[in-house]
Amino acid sequence: MLTVTDVSKTFFPGTVNERRALHGLSLTMAEGDFVTVIGSNGAGKSTLLNVVSGRLIPDAGRIDIDGRNVSRLRDHKRAKYVGRVFQDPLAGTAPTLTIEENLSLAVLRGRRRGLGPSLNKKRRAQFADQLAMLELGLEDRLTAKVGLLSGGQRQALSLLMAGFTQPRIMLLDEHTAALDPQRAELVTTITERIVREGGLTTLMVTHNMEQAIRLGNRLIMMHEGRIVYEADDQKKASLTVQDLLKEFANIKGATLSDKAFLG
C-alpha cells in the first residue's frame, strides 16, 4: 500500500547548519496497517510524514502509494491519496467558514474542480449524521463558524474531514499533543473510531508512549533519521512503557522528546 524505500532528506546540505533528517529510511505498510511512530527530538518523525504527504521531496529514495511512484508528486497532487491532521488545531480547518462549509471543502478536496456537491438538504443531512458520530453536539451547529469551536472540537472536525475522502493513507502528526488530557483522550477515541470504520491505513506520530502502545497494530521508534526499533502486533500486545524506555536507553546519544513524559 505504502512503500518508503531508502529515503534520505538533508536540510542545508554542505553548510554548518546541515541536518540529516532521514537517513536511508525504509518502511512498508500494508492496507489497513496503523503504525504509531515515537522517537527522540529531531529524530525525523515529522520529516517522514512530510515526505509521505509530498510537502517535502526526498533527496534520494522513493515513495510508492498503491504501487504508484509518487516521490516527485507535490502535496496538492497527492491530496487525493493523503489525509493529514496536524498538532495545531488551527491548521486543519478554516476558522471564518462554518462547520458545513469546512466539510464541503473537505469533500471537494482531491476531486476535480466543479465536481463537488453543493450544500443541499441531502448533503446537510449527511454532514449531520457524520458529526453526530463525534458525540460533541456539532450536528446541531452546522452553520456555526469553526473559529468558535474549542481546540478538541476542531481536532475532531479535522479528523472527520481528513477521513471524508477515504484517503489511501492517513497521517496524524502529534494531533492530540496540544490538547488537555481529557480532550486528548476524546480525540484519541474519535481517531480510533474513524480509522476503524474507514479501514484507514494510518501513520501516527505521538510523544505519548502509552498511546503509541495502545493504538494501532505496529509501532516504530526513530532516531537520527532511521528506524531503530520496531514492534509488530504480537510484540506490541505485551509491550510496556518501561520496555520502550529501556530501548531508548540502549540507543547511544538518544534523549527522549521533552514531551514524552507529559502524557
Ligand X SMILES: Nc1ncnc2c1ncn2[C@@H]1O[C@H](COP(=O)(O)OP(=O)(O)OP(=O)(O)O)[C@@H](O)[C@H]1O
Question: Can you give the binding site for ligand X, defined by CB under 6 A?
Answer: 11, 19, 21, 39, 41-47, 257
Rounded to a whole number of angstroms, the minimum distance from the CB of residue 64 to ligand X is: 21
**Rounded to whole angstroms, how far apart are CA atoms 35 and 72?**
24
Contact at 8 Å (CB) between 98 and 142?
A: yes
Closest CB to ligand X among 84 and 141? 84
Rounded to a whole number of angstroms, the minimum distance from the CB of residue 45 to ligand X is: 3
Q: Provide, for the chain, the percentages of residues in helix, strand and coil under a 3-state DSSP scheme, each rounded to the nearest 5.
A: 35, 25, 40
Rounded to a whole number of angstroms, the minimum distance from the CB of residue 75 to ligand X is: 14
Rounded to a whole number of angstroms, the minimum distance from the CB of residue 257 to ligand X is: 5
Rounded to a whole number of angstroms, the minimum distance from the CB of residue 255 to ligand X is: 10
Closest CB to ligand X among 165 and 208? 208
Alpha-carbon torsion 97, 123, 175, 7, what sign?
negative
Phi and psi at residue 16, in whole multiples of 5°? -65, -20
Alpha-carbon torsion 73, 79, 82, 83, what sign?
positive
Closest CB to ligand X among 134 and 260? 260
| Cell numbers describing residue 75 | 502535496
**DSSP letter string over 23-85?**
EEEEEEE-TT-EEEEEEBTTSSHHHHHHHHHTSS--SEEEEEETTEE-TT--HHHHTTTEEEE
Closest CB to ligand X among 9 and 78? 9
Closest CB to ligand X among 189 and 255? 255
